[in-house]
Structure 1
C-alpha cells in the first residue's frame, strides 16, 4: 500500500542520515583525538614536560568550557522541542542525581588521566597507548564479579591484546631514554614503574566505566551534562592539588602554553563527538571508532617520532591489532535486526514494483 511505501522510504532516508552522522562523528573522533595524541607526545617526547597537574589544570578548564557550550546549545534545542510538542505536567520535577555521583566518576576519570600521563615519564608514548588498549581487562573482571557473562570472543580478544602488550614490553630493544626518569632508570625500575602506573590507570578506567553505566541508567544523564560536571569537578580538584605549582603554571613559556591549549582544545572537541557518538549509536559502534583511532595513533607515532621497533615487537603489535579487531565484532542479534529491516524494505519495494506492473 501507499502508507507502507512511504514508511519504507522514510526508514531508508533515516538510515541514510544516521549513516552520514556516524561517519561524521567517527571522522571527528579520529581526527581530534589523533591531533591530541600527536601534540601530547610532542610535549613529553624530550622529557622536559611540566608536572602532570600543571598540564592537566588548564586542559580541564578547556574541557569545562567546551562541555558548557555543548550543554548550552543542547539545552536550547531541548526547550524548542518541548515547546513544539508538549509541556510537562504541572508540578513535574525531574530526578536530579546527587553530587557524590559526579564526584565518584570525576575521581575515577581524573585518576585514569593522571596515572597514564605520569607513566610517560617511564615508558614511551607508544607503549602507553598499547597499554591503554587493555582497558577491557578491568571491565571484564568487574563484570565477572557482578555475575555478568561474556562470549568466548571477548575472552579471546582480551587475551590477544594483553599478550601483544606483554610481548611489546618484554622485547624492547632499549628503554625509551628521552622519557625515562634518571633516578628510576639507574635503579632499572622505570619500565616496571610505568607499567604499574598504566595498571592503576586501567583500574580507574574500569571503575569509571562501571559508575558511568550505573548512574546514566539510573538518573538518565545526558552526555553534555555528564561531561560538564565531571570536567568542572576535575578542574577544581586539580587546582586544589596543584598547590605551589601554581607558580610554575604562571611562568610557563608561551610555546608551552600554546601547546597545552591546543591539546586541551583537541581533547575537548574529541570528547564532544565521542559523547555524541555514544548517545546516538551506543558503545558497541563507538568502540569500532576507538579501535581505529588507537591503531592509527600507534602507527602515526612510530612513523612521525621514529620509535625503534624490534621484530618481536612487531609481532606483539600484530597480536594486539588482531585482538582489537576481534573485540569490535558485532553481536549476531543486532546483525539479525539489521537484516530484518533490509528484508522488510526489499519485500515492500518488490511488492510495489509488482503492483505497478499489474
Structure 2
C-alpha cells in the first residue's frame, strides 16, 4: 500500500534529523586526528560492521515490538543477499572515499544519487516514469549540487588534472546505490516486503560479508588497538551506529511505502535543507549561484509532487 503524504513528511523529518547527526559523527570519526601523535582512524570495514550490528539489533527489537514475533520472510534469500552486497559496497566505498577526499566532496558527489537510482530502476526493475519525471529529478539534483558547490568552498578534486581515487570510489558508490535501489524496488513491488524485514535482513547479510573480510584483513586487531589507545572514539562509534539505525528505520519505511527513488530524493534534499537552514538562521550570505540552486530545488520538488507521479505498470 502506498503511504500518505503525512507519512512521507514524517519519514522525511526522521531522515533529516537522524542523518544530520550521523554526518557530523561520520566526519568526526574519519577526518579527526586523535591523541598527541595525531593518529587517524582507518578501520572502515570494522566501523561499517559495528554499524550493521546495531542496525540489525534495532530492527529485530522493532519487529518484536510491532508483531510480538519475528515473522519469517517470504523474500528469496538470494535477493536479500545480492541487495546487501551492493548496499555494503556503496556504504564502504562512500566511507572509504573520505580517506582520499574531503567531506564536502563526498557529500556533493553523493548528491547525484537519485540519477543512478532512476536509471537502474528503469534498466533493472523495469520501472516506468513519465518523461517529465526525469526532468524534475535532474532539476532537484542539479539544484542541490549548485547550492552545495558554493557553501563547500573547499570542494576540489583529489588531483587538479584528473579524477582521483576518492572520486572513483564515489562513482562506484553511486553505481551500487543504483543497483541497490533497483533490487529494493523488486522487493517492494513483487513481495510487498515490510520495512523492518528489509532492514533486518539486509544488515544480517551485510554482516555475513563483512565478518570474513575483517578476519582476512586483520582490521579488527587494529581497531581494538586503536580503541585501547584512544578510548574516547568508542562513544563516537556507538553514536554513529545508533544514528544510522534510527535513520535506517525512516529510510526503509520510506522505501517500502514510497519506493527507492522518492527516498533518494528525500536523502538528497536533506543535505540542501540542512545547509539552507544554516544560511537562514545564521544569516550567511547567499550568492547568485546558490539562489539559482535554491530555485531549482524548490521548483523541482513542487513540480514533482504535482506532475511527476509514476505511471502504473501493466501486469
**Shorter-normalised TM-score: what interval?**
0.7 to 0.9
Alpha-carbon separation, structure 1, partners of 2:240 and 2:27: 10
Q: 1:217-256 alignment to 2 at 5 Å?
A: 217-242=189-214, 243-251=217-225, 252=227, 253-256=230-233
- Partner of 2:74: helix, strand, or coil? coil
Taking structure 2 as the reference length, the TM-score comes to: 0.75
Deviations 1:306-332 (A, max 9, x none): xxx996874785477357636743447
Stretches of structure 2 lacking an aligned partner (at least 5 in a row) = 34-39, 311-315
Q: Which has the larger radius of gyration?
A: 1
SS at match of 2:132: helix
1: CA distance, partners of 2:134 / 2:308: 17
| Paired residues for 1:178-197 under 5 Å | 192-197=164-169
- What is residue 271 of structure 1 aligned with on the other side? 248
Gaps of 5+ in 1: 1-17, 80-93, 304-308, 335-358
- Identify, as 1 or 2, the structure richer in helix: 1
Give CA-to-partner distance per residue, 1:68-116, whole Å, 9 cap, x none. 111222222899xxxxxxxxxxxxxx88333211110100100110111
In the other structure, the counterpart of 1:133 is 111
Alignment partner of 1:122 is 2:100:
yes
Aligned in 2, Cα 1:95/1:64: closer, same or farther, shift over 3 Å? Answer: closer
| Contact 2:145/2:293 (8 A) holds in 1 | yes
TM-score under structure 1 normalisation?
0.67
Query: Residue deviations 1:144-176, cap 9 Å, x none?
Result: 446655334333334442586489669986567
Which of 127, 135, 157 aligns to 2:136? It is 157
* Aligned counterpart, 1:60: 52
Query: Closer, same or farther in 2 for the Cα pair 1:285/1:162, shift >3 Å?
Result: closer
**What is the deviation of 1:232?**
1.1
Partners of 2:133 and 2:308 within 8 A in 1: no
How large is the RMSD of aligned CA atoms in angstroms? Answer: 4.0
Task: Evaluate the alpha carbon distance shift between residue 20 and residue 137 of structure 1 in structure 2; reply closer, same or farther with a 3 A threshold.
Answer: closer
Find 2:297's aligned residue among 302, 321, 325: 321
